[in-house]
Amino acid sequence: MTSQLFTPYALGGLSLPNRIVIAPMCQYSAANGVVGDWHLMHLGNLSHSGAGLLIAEATAVSPEGRISDRCPGLWDDATESGWARVMAGIRQYSAMPIGIQLAHAGRKGGCAAPWLGGKQLPLSEGGWFNVAPSAVPFDPSDAAPQALDAAGIKRLVQAFADAARRADRLGFDAVELHAAHGYLMHEFLSPLTNRRSDEYGGSLANRLRFVLEVFDAVRTVWPRHKALGMRVSATDWVAGGWTPEETVALAKELKARGADFIHVSSGGLSLEQKIPVGPGYQLPFARQVKAASGLPTIGVGLITEAKQAEAVVTEGDADLVAVARAMLYDPRWPWHAAAELGAQVQAPPQFWRGAPRGAEGVFSPLP
């Protein structure tokens, strides 16, 4: 029986060789927003994994939009040049579709790398003033962010569009807009963090407004033959917060505006969240969004085994399967999944003789 996980899939005008997506994973290894050798090695390594799509980590559209002082950006010529070198190196040896996640951290910006404590940095140690829909800090110990005014909102909408133009010049095949995990766009969506009384707060339509303005601005400049979608948190896991039903409403709006996919995650907005973590714990949300909106859906959440990923597709939880931490642990996860499921992956010929006995046919020539 043919593995459904390893069947081709189209995201808009972008053709993927299989349904495996490498989800964005922060590396905290850029210098002043500029990526370098670490990203060339890390993403270059993953570009030989045989996955259908590789999405580079959250990349800020403005300097204050970085999660940490070590996160990458795409807001000027210097940050674009860093990505140009990385993409040129990868493209010499890999034709894998590659996307980039464009993001703004909002009130969760300006933090130290996780292995340095992860706390918000004071101005004296390289931190900065954060912005958000409302002046509500993420952690009580954090400085309160500045509530965005109309001019600030307009500036950030334009920043997303400008970053998308740069991403197109760089040769990225897809853009994923980051509206999940408690960052700026998620902060506008959730009533827990959006306490505005103007046209960007209050009702669901108002809370959707900024996110849809960003999407529309990027849709205008992003080519139709490439893929454009959004990552969302389907729930805050907090009473009174953003809900799966509101996520469905957002997905329907995105589809009507020409979105090619939605990537369904959850949480990250509040320290009060209570998440029942377990294998596939977020998949019910992906199934709900997929069924209600008809938008091609990426499911994620502790998906670590080949048969588990196969079941996601065959049972209709999602159209594609995102693997994140498991890919950090095993950068050849798709090779091993293909061998287990009797499928093939594309890999450079330098690797072909590495196939174990009994799985000699796991590799197919590159296109």
Please give the positions annotated as active site: 183
* Phi, psi of 363, deg, nearest 5: -100, 135
Nearest alpha-carbon partner for 56 in 170, 219, 211, 159: 170
Nearest alpha-carbon partner for 48 in 329, 349, 356: 349
| SS3 (DSSP) at 56 | strand
Q: What is the residue type of 217?
A: A
Please state, in angstroms and rounded to a whole number, the distance separating the CA atoms of residues 345 and 81: 31
The residue count of the chain comes to 367
Say if residues 333 and 327 touch (Cβ distance below 8 Å): yes
Convert 77-101 to b/e letters by CB count within 10 Å (16 or more is b).
eebbebbbebbebbeeebebbbbbb
Strand partners for 58: 101
